[in-house]
Amino acid sequence: MSRKQNIIASAIKAKIIDQDLTAVGVMDLDALKKTVDDVYQAFPANFFHTFAVKANALVQVLSSLRESGMGAEVASPGELMIARAAGYNTADIIFDSPAKTVQDLRTCIENDISINIDNLQELARVDRLIRDFPDTKSVIGFRVNPQIGAGKIGSTSTATATSKFGYALVDGDNRQRLIEIYQARPWLKSIHTHTGSQGCELTLMANGVKIITELAEEINEFIGSQQVTRLDIGGGLPVNFSSDEIKPSFKDYAEVLKAEVPLLFTDKYQVKTEFGRAIVAKNGVIITRVEYTKNSGGRHIATTHAGAQILTRTAFLPKSWPIRVTGYTARGEEKTEKNSEVVTTDVAGPCCFAGDLICVEQSLPKLEANDYVMVHDTGGYYFTNHFDYNSLPRVAIYTISGADDDLTIDCIRAAQSLESVLNNM
């Protein structure tokens, strides 16, 4: 029996899935450990790997990654709190967000959490905080946008000329300006780039890394000593969603990087990575149940309970985020072309809009009511992400009523503190 069939069989045995199931997410912690081993084996000892918490902000998953030796890259105060709850030391956390508040920056600098500065206004805030905490052990650097173009998915491409992320290196005299910024601030010891996520070619990612490595060399030469000691090369390794094959692998990426930027593979710099999707996607699945089936216009339609609420990217951008499903009978047997007729199928979610579909026009062994559907490769950015910026849902909601010049605002859901949301999870 395959690992995935075993997961279904165990879930049935443990009564986690039965005729009352709507949808569950399952993370395979053993497979996760193996993935982390693969990362460490692919790169030499001067590489330190952090996990991009936005990809899967579950305390248990983060604890397991920490035990396997990873640090944490967080992009919001909520993610920071979740990483702390999972036991990460502040020295092993880096905070990357394009919208850090003064309080976020203070928390990081006061507690020795590393940061990547996004822009010059943020630099001015950090300048002031460094005066308050001159002995901070935060490793501080700039996030640089090398402006080298997009990959196949616009919404995950972060190195376009007009990207919202980082300091635009190629505009005007920005490069020289940045070199002088580093010269004036001996506490700037790192440079960061993240070229983009899913849809970016390895060569595009490696090109971004090459640009920041050359920049670090130029800064150090200008200053006359090795002030920049850390290169933060981001995450972004794409995931193959079309089969179980892991392609590209961490080893493939290491080989491309080694060919393009050999300096990374010497001990000159500490190199930090921030992989998210490639660590978790293939180690998680959603299991849902077929509630009903029907035939409409010649199409077999299977309505399940997994849709836009947990498969947000796929529901809204199906061409960019196609995803695979496998059917199982209520007894847990895999549905194959040998035991079922193959029909053209749409697998639908439960939400009340037409685009709420997991997959469209797929040739699948015929799904029946009460079958289970496994949605593959959903361990990152799917069932763990409801797209709240903090990964903790706590949005306050108000009503407004009355005449324009005499409006009444009433709170129908109060803002909760991050602590209270985390404690009640």
Interface positions with ligand PLP (CB under 6 A): 52, 55, 73, 96, 194, 197-198, 234-237, 274-278
**Cβ closest to ligand PLP, residue 194 vs residue 282:** 194
**Cβ closest to ligand PLP, residue 155 vs residue 229:** 155
SS3 292: strand
- Whole-number minimum distance, CB 159 to ligand PLP, in Å? 11
- Whole-number minimum distance, CB 173 to ligand PLP, in Å? 25
- Whole-number minimum distance, CB 37 to ligand PLP, in Å? 18
Determine the residue type at 11.
A
Determine the residue type at 201.
E
- Look-up: residue for tokens 């670090």? 216
Contact between residue 191 and residue 212 where contact means Cβ atoms under 8 Å apart: yes
**Cβ closest to ligand PLP, residue 25 vs residue 235:** 235
Task: Residue count of the chain, please give it.
Answer: 425
Contact between residue 306 and residue 285 where contact means Cβ atoms under 8 Å apart: no
Any bridge partners for residue 225, and if so which? none
Contact between residue 27 and residue 61 where contact means Cβ atoms under 8 Å apart: yes
- Whole-number minimum distance, CB 392 to ligand PLP, in Å? 18
**Residue 176: both structure tokens together:** 């020289």
Structural element, H or E, at residue 345? strand 342-348
Long-range contacts at 169-172 (CB < 8 A, ≥ 24 apart): 169/144, 169/145, 169/211, 169/215, 170/146, 171/147
Which residue is at the shortest CB distance from ligand PLP? 276
**Cβ closest to ligand PLP, residue 269 vs residue 328:** 269
**Cβ closest to ligand PLP, residue 27 vs residue 52:** 52
Rounded distance, CA 94 to CA 195, Å? 17
Structural element, H or E, at residue 24? strand 23-27
What per-residue string of b and e applies to 2-18 under the rule 16 or more CB within 10 Å gives b?
eebeebbeebbeeeebe
CB atoms within 10 A of CB 297: 5
**Cβ closest to ligand PLP, residue 210 vs residue 272:** 272
**Cβ closest to ligand PLP, residue 8 vs residue 86:** 86
**Cβ closest to ligand PLP, residue 232 vs residue 356:** 232
**Cβ closest to ligand PLP, residue 68 vs residue 288:** 68
- Whole-number minimum distance, CB 141 to ligand PLP, in Å? 12
**Cβ closest to ligand PLP, residue 64 vs residue 157:** 157
Instruction: Tell me the Cα Rg of the chain.
Output: 24
**Cβ closest to ligand PLP, residue 96 vs residue 371:** 96
- Whole-number minimum distance, CB 272 to ligand PLP, in Å? 10
The dihedral built from the CA positions of residue 182, 183, 184 and 190, taken in this order, carries a sign that is: positive
Contact between residue 261 and residue 220 where contact means Cβ atoms under 8 Å apart: no
- Whole-number minimum distance, CB 280 to ligand PLP, in Å? 8
- Whole-number minimum distance, CB 15 to ligand PLP, in Å? 33
- Whole-number minimum distance, CB 197 to ligand PLP, in Å? 3
What per-residue string of b and e applies to 254-268 under the rule 16 or more CB within 10 Å gives b?
bebbeebbeebbeeb
Contact between residue 200 and residue 163 where contact means Cβ atoms under 8 Å apart: no
- Whole-number minimum distance, CB 17 to ligand PLP, in Å? 28
CB atoms within 10 A of CB 67: 13
- Whole-number minimum distance, CB 269 to ligand PLP, in Å? 18
- Look-up: residue for tokens 């933060």? 232
